[in-house]
Amino acid sequence: MSAVHFARIVAERFDRAACHYDRGAAVQEQVARALVQRAVAQSSEPRSVLDIGCGTGFVAEAIARRWPQARITAIDGAPSMLAQARRKTPGLRIVKGDVAAMEFTPAFDLIFSSMVLHWLPTPRDVLARWLKGLKPQGRLFAALLVDGSFQEWRNLCLQENLPEGIWPFPPANFAEGLPVKTELQPLKVAFPSAQDFLQRLKTIGAATPRPDHRPVGTPAMRRLLRRAPAPFSVTYNVLYIDAPSPSPASI
């Protein structure tokens, strides 16, 4: 399966989840708000802001509240997600497109991307491309999941000798060599059960497995879920990225 075809599958699953995404996306909302707070602490009034992979608009909504005069552009590959984002923030400029392939001119004071980069096959290359969209004094803030996320589920499957299928998150040092600062903040989330954890991923459209994963049969999955501890705690390894507008030679 080609990377383009698989990216389309991911976008379609998020698109189908748009109408009920917010009900299951407490972690994503928390990370988005933390990301905007980081920008507020380091940035003056921006005139132009880009939200890449905006989803239902957690970041854009927080930006509009904090900087109501800013021109906000939101990009996503899922049209239903864009519709939800515009509903929350009526003045939002929305663009449907492939966030991994789009090129940006240096037009933005701030660029945000929350919980998107880990879905892309070459996150370092994409991040370097996004940085080129910053104005000379601009700044990029991003957050993504990295290796070690959902390790509790992986361990549970390993104990039962079953394939876990979790999406392959990039290593924490994936951006090494780029002019960025990173900070890893593990976030522990308790679910009533392992089944609730899996259902939460499905609810928000984030249950796409690795391309080579073969689904586990129903009887084996039921045994696995019965043996899982309850409540079921899961670690989200969130990597925050802070990057100033780079010099041409640095990227």
Q: Read off the pLDDT of residues 133-190 as tens digits, 9 standing for 90 and up.
A: 999 999 999 999 999 999 999 999 999 898 888 888 999 999 999 999 999 999 999 9
Domain contains 226 = no
Helix (H) or strand (E) holding 108: strand 108-114
Q: What is the DSSP letter of 247?
A: P
Domain contains 214 = no
Contact 204, 145 (CB under 8 A): no
Cα→Cα distances 217→195, 201, 248, Å: 15, 19, 51
Domain contains 211 = no
Contact residues for 88 (Cβ-Cβ < 8 A; gap 6+): 56, 57, 60, 61
The pLDDT, as a whole number, for residue 1 is 42
Q: Nearest CA to 14 among 80, 92, 100?
A: 80
Q: What is the C-alpha to C-alpha distance for residues 100 and 87, in angstroms, rounded to an integer?
A: 25
Class of residue 60 by CB neighbours under 10 A (exposed 0-12, middle 13-18, buried 19+): buried
Q: Domain of residue 82: give its range.
A: 3-150+168-189+238-250
The pLDDT, as a whole number, for residue 2 is 46
Number of domains into which the chain is organized = 1
pTM to 2 decimal places: 0.94
Q: What is the C-alpha to C-alpha distance for residues 117 and 94, in angstroms, rounded to an integer?
A: 19
For 75-90, the pLDDT digits (tens) are: 999 999 999 999 999 9
Q: State whether residue 167 is helix, strand or coil.
A: coil
Domain contains 96 = yes
* Ranges under pLDDT 70 in the chain: 1-7, 247-251
The pLDDT, as a whole number, for residue 3 is 52
